[in-house]
């Protein structure tokens, strides 16, 4: 009996195993968690859709999940429906519970939506929102999330930086569905959508919240928010970034850098040293513990090039460094270096550079 049992078992496992693997590789259904503000979708969420698309060569089903309340939510949903040709569905959770992006209701929502949709992947951008919500949702689903992916090589194999970007780690996800990922937005650029591409508009449907469990979600409350209002482009998505380090010596001198940034249509960044010295607020910090940027042009003034800073900008396309210390480590990663006094160089650049296009 035992022998027969073993044979049957072997036969079964032989048959079921390949079937199971093909079914995983065949059907990718991804749920993208979307951030929106003032009726617009954040660009990093569209990057998350681009990442979802690159999970396999076949036609992936990609659903976008938006939550919030009021007319701006519905405006954002209609924009989501046309933001990327691969989006097949837009899910909208409309409730006061989602007026602010609190992790507790959001994680519950992701859990609920996954239980109904049975997604193979759940993806968010590695923003402060994505990093706050996704691991909590993963714990509710009892799966290991993968943070800050820079490369997708198949539906379950991913590359992510570790040790402040000083090493790249390839990981394979072997667990149950869903595979939960946060992606580094700058690694998944979105091709510009031409205005006449109104070909497909994904259907928008409401998430049924009647079974939404309220116990957990009342334990945290939103109190307030202070934001740094700037008219310049957002640091995370700017095409050009100019950064100042301790070499700028004072908050006053950062104005000089701002003037240059204005001329270039660039965002202003700072090193941890400049933030700690109180020159600029900390949301300008570029580095492992601040923002990670990958603009087309990165200009570093008075930046030595500490490991923690390099981790935040090493993927920039062209790096320019201006520093009076010719031995500063920043010159090792710079495409163009200029050894000189930044108090002379910055005004000269501001004067000679062409205005913003």
Partner 1 sequence: MKIMVPIKRVIDYAVKIRVKPDKTGVETSNVKMSMNPFCEIALEEALRIKESGLATEVVAVSMGPTQCVDTLRTGLAMGAERGIYVEAKGDLFPLSVAKILKKLIEIEKPGLLILGKQAIDDDCNQTGQMVAGLLGWPQGTFASKVLLDKEKQVATVEREVDGGLETLCLDLPAVITTDLRLNQPRYATLPNIMKAKSKVIKKFTLLDLNVEIKPDLEIVEVREPPKRKAGVIVSSVDELIDKLRNEAHVI
Q: Tell me how far apart the alpha carbons of residues 105 and 121 are, in angstroms, rounded to a whole number.
A: 20
Query: Does residue 256 bind partner 1 (CB under 8 A)?
Result: no
Strand partners, 162: 167
128 binds partner 1 (CB under 8 A): yes
140 is a site residue for partner 1 (CB under 8 A): yes
Q: Does 132 bind partner 1 (CB under 8 A)?
A: yes
Give the residue numbers of the binding site for FAD: 246, 271-272, 285-289, 302-309, 323
| Paired residues of 300 in beta bridges | 243, 321
Query: In a 3-state reduction of DSSP, which class is residue 62?
Result: strand
**Residues 260-279 contacting partner 1, CB under 8 A:** 264, 272, 276
Q: Parallel, antiparallel, or unpaired: how do β-strands 297-301 and 240-244 relate? A: parallel
Options 136, 232, 259, 324; binder of partner 1; rule CB under 8 A: 136
Q: Is 318 in the site for partner 1 (CB under 8 A)?
A: yes
Residue among 325, 277, 328, 338 at smallest CA distance from 305 = 328
Q: Is residue 219 a contact point for partner 1 (CB under 8 A)? A: yes
Please give the Cα distance from 159 to 11 (Å, whole number): 36
Q: Going residue by residue from 153 to 182, which x/- string records binding to partner 1, judged by CB under 8 A?
A: ----x--xxxxxxxxxxxxxxxxx------
Asked if residue 151 binds partner 1 (CB under 8 A), the reply is: no
Q: How many residues bind partner 1 (CB under 8 A)?
A: 90
| Residue 345 in the binding site for partner 1 (CB under 8 A) | yes
Q: Could you say whether residue 300 binds partner 1 (CB under 8 A)?
A: no
In the window 83-102, what residues touch partner 1 (CB under 8 A)?
102
φ, ψ at 30 (rounded to 5°): -105, 145
* Lookup: tokens for 302: 């008075």
Which residue among 53, 121, 291, 309 contacts partner 1 (CB under 8 A)? Answer: 291
User: Does position 339 bind partner 1 by CB under 8 A?
Assistant: yes
Q: Distance of CA 267 to CAs 50, 141, 218, 229, Å? A: 24, 38, 38, 13
User: How many whole angstroms from its chain centre is CA 253?
Assistant: 31
Q: Are 274 and 246 in contact (CB under 8 A)?
A: yes
Distance CA 16, CA 166 (A): 41
* Residue 38 in the binding site for partner 1 (CB under 8 A): no
Report whether 149 contacts 181 (CB < 8 A).
yes
Tell me the window of 52-60, 68-76, 81-89, 210-218 that interacts with partner 1 (CB under 8 A). 210-218
The answer to the question of residue 231 lying near partner 1 (CB under 8 A) is: no
User: Contact, 225 vs 232, CB < 8 A?
Assistant: no
Answer for which of 58, 96, 234, 341 binds partner 1 (CB under 8 A) is: 234
Rounded CA-CA distance 346/22 in Å is 58
Q: What is the DSSP letter of 191?
A: P
Among 194, 210, 211, 227, which residue sits at the site for partner 1 (rule: CB under 8 A)? Answer: 227
Supply the DSSP symbol for 287: S
Among 120, 127, 243, 304, binds partner 1 (CB under 8 A): 127
Pick 178 or 244: Cβ nearer partner 1: 178
135 in contact with partner 1 (CB under 8 A): yes
Between CA 111 and CA 214 the distance in angstroms is 13
Phi then psi for residue 35, to 5 deg, are: -100, 135
Q: Is 187 in the site for partner 1 (CB under 8 A)?
A: no
Of 89, 120, 147, 271, the one binding partner 1 (CB under 8 A) is 147
Residues 53-82 that bind partner 1 (CB under 8 A): none
Asked if residue 148 binds partner 1 (CB under 8 A), the reply is: yes
> Does 138 help bind partner 1 (rule: CB under 8 A)?
yes
Single residue of 297, 303, 313, 342 touching partner 1 by CB under 8 A:
297
């Amino acid at each position: 009996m035992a022998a027969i049992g073993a044979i049957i078992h072997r036969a079964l496992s032989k048959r079921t195993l390949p079937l199971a693997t093909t079914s995983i590789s065949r059907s990718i259904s991804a749920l993208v968690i979307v951030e929106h503000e003032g009726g617009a979708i954040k660009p990093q969420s569209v990057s998350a859709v681009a990442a979802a698309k690159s999970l396999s060569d076949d036609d992936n089903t990609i659903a976008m999940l938006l939550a919030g309340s009021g007319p701006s939510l519905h405006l954002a949903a209609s924009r989501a429906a046309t933001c990327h040709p691969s989006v097949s569905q837009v899910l909208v959770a409309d409730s006061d519970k989602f007026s602010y992006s609190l992790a507790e209701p959001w994680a519950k929502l992701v859990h609920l939506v996954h239980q109904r949709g049975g997604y193979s992947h759940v993806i968010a951008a590695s923003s402060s929102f994505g990093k706050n919500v996704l691991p909590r949702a993963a714990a509710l689903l009892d799966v290991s999330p993968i943070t800050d992916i820079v490369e997708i090589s198949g539906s379950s194999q991913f590359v992510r930086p570790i040790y402040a970007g000083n090493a790249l780690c390839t990981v394979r996800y072997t667990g149950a569905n869903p595979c939960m990922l946060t992606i580094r937005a700058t690694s998944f650029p979105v091709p510009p959508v031409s205005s006449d591409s109104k070909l497909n508009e994904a259907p928008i449907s409401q998430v049924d919240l009647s079974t939404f469990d309220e116990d957990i979600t009342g334990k945290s409350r939103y109190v307030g928010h202070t934001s740094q209002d700037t008219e310049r482009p957002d640091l995370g998505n700017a095409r050009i970034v100019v950064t100042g380090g301790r070499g700028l010596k004072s908050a006053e001198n950062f104005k000089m850098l701002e003037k240059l940034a204005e001329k270039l249509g660039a965002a202003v960044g700072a090193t941890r040293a400049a933030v700690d010295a109180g020159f600029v607020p900390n949301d300008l910090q570029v580095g492992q513990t601040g923002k990670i940027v990958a603009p087309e042009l990165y200009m570093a003034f008075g930046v030595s090039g500490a490991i923690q800073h390099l981790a935040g900008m090493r993927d920039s396309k062209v790096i320019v460094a201006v520093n009076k210390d010719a031995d500063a480590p920043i010159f090792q990663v710079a495409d163009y270096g200029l050894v000189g006094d930044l108090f002379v160089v910055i005004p000269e650049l501001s004067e000679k550079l062409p205005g913003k296009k």
